[in-house]
């Protein structure tokens, strides 16, 4: 058995899927295809586009690294250097992933979840696949 993607809410499993489709049972494949059909691809593209900008990613990383997923304008200015980037952070955030209030800027729970999946989740998958690839020399020519 290889890598799995599992998402839980307390004891409730929301998603549990092997990353290799050769490990999928027929009912798993059917459920996967249903989920793909129901997926809001426009929303997913907006989120990926938002996090594809290095400055926005750095500012969100800074906010999520704190205790309450927030930062003041001054704190973000240290990260972003340019005030235009900070305004871009909120203006480009889809569906309130990042909000501005009287105390500063805050990453919403949806923003934190998206950030963790795209950053740490992707990093861990790539690390694991790189270590597997580096350990498996069968693909190299002799």
> Within a domain: residue 98?
yes
How would you list the strands of the sheet with 70-71, edge to edge?
A: 70-71, 104-107, 98-101
Q: Show the tokens assigned to 121.
A: 């989740």
> Within a domain: residue 19?
no
> Within a domain: residue 116?
yes
pLDDT in tens, 77-124: 999 989 999 999 989 998 789 999 898 999 999 999 999 999 998 998
Give, for 109, the enclosing helix (H) or strand (E).
Answer: helix 109-116
Residue 34, domain CATH: 1.10.10.10
> Within a domain: residue 60?
yes
pLDDT in tens, 2-38: 788 888 999 999 888 888 878 888 888 888 889 899 9
> Within a domain: residue 129?
yes
Q: How many domains does the chain have?
A: 1
> Within a domain: residue 88?
yes
Expressed as residue numbers, the domain containing 29 is 25-133
> Within a domain: residue 20?
no
Q: Are 6 and 13 in contact (CB under 8 A)?
A: yes
For residues 140 and 130, give the distance between their C-alpha atoms in angstroms, rounded to a whole number. Answer: 14
């Amino acid at each position: 058995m290889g890598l799995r993607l599992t998402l839980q809410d307390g004891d409730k499993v929301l998603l549990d899927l092997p990353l290799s489709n050769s490990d999928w049972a027929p009912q798993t494949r059917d459920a996967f295809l249903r989920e793909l059909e129901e997926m809001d691809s426009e929303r997913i593209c907006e989120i990926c586009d938002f996090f594809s900008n290095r400055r926005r990613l750095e500012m969100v990383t800074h906010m999520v690294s704190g205790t309450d997923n927030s930062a003041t304008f001054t704190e973000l200015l240290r990260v972003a250097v340019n005030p235009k980037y900070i305004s871009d952070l909120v203006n480009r955030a889809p569906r309130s992933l990042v909000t501005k209030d009287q105390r500063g800027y805050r990453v919403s729970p949806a923003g934190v979840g998206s950030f963790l999946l795209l950053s740490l989740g992707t990093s861990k998958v790539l690390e694991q696949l790189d270590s597997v690839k580096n350990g498996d020399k069968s693909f190299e020519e002799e």
